[in-house]
Amino acid sequence: MDPRLMIGPRGPQLTGIQTAKPSAAATRQSLTSFDSLFQQAIQAPENSQFRVSAHAQKRLSERNITMDARLEDSLKRAFTELEAKGARDSLVLTREGAFVVNVPSRTLVTAMGIDEMRDGIVTNIDSVNMKYG
């Protein structure tokens, strides 16, 4: 008899078929693995990279903006802070230039030099993050 069709607590006694139950060790192992995955997911934004769009890469080279370690670190911190505030499309101002970023996709959309920002208008953003340190 199929164990799925047995009704009541005496079904296994009558048929001799025992249903398999997960052991306590297997349950603890699955909880541990979920816990470790959950912790990784929480910590990922602080350490994860961001993507540079083709358009932004072109603008970086045209405007002689070098993506050095300091600028990259500033942008990573900006992404983390903006994510925490729920920002979507933001302007990040640094000593090196101004950068429009899409926060949910962690993408650098475009880059402008400081000289271009003096006369510029930036549209379609919902927040600004200043990184001058």
Same domain, 126 and 101: yes
User: What pLDDT does 107 receive?
Assistant: 95
Taking the whole predicted model, whether its pTM rises above 0.85 is answered as no
Same domain, 7 and 36: yes
Q: Which domain holds residue 79?
A: 50-131
Backbone angles phi, psi at 90, to 5 degrees: -130, 160
Whether the predicted pLDDT of 131 surpasses 90:
no
More confident residue, 88 or 132: 88
Whether the predicted pLDDT of 62 surpasses 70:
yes
User: What pLDDT does 116 receive?
Assistant: 83
pLDDT in tens, 24-60: 655 555 556 777 776 666 665 544 689 999 999 999 9
Q: How many domains does the chain have?
A: 2
How many angstroms separate the CA atoms of 95 and 50, rounded? 19
Q: Read off the pLDDT band of 1 (50, 70, 90).
A: low
Whether the predicted pLDDT of 129 surpasses 90:
yes
Same domain, 23 and 65: no
Same domain, 111 and 72: yes
Question: Which tokens is 49 given?
Answer: 């990279």
pLDDT in tens, 64-105: 999 999 999 999 999 999 999 999 999 999 999 999 999 999
Whether the predicted pLDDT of 10 surpasses 60:
yes
Same domain, 93 and 58: yes
Same domain, 12 and 76: no
Same domain, 97 and 66: yes
Residue 14, classified by CB atoms within 10 Å of its CB into exposed (0-12), middle (13-18) or buried (19+), is: exposed
User: What pLDDT does 132 receive?
Assistant: 80
Q: Is 52:60 a contact under the CB 8 Å cutoff? A: yes
Same domain, 34 and 17: yes
DSSP per position, 36-60: HHHHHHHHHHHH---EE-HHHHHHH
User: What pLDDT does 97 receive?
Assistant: 92
Residue 104, CA distances (Å) to 17, 74, 114 in order: 52, 17, 25
Backbone angles phi, psi at 37, to 5 degrees: -65, -40
Same domain, 55 and 111: yes
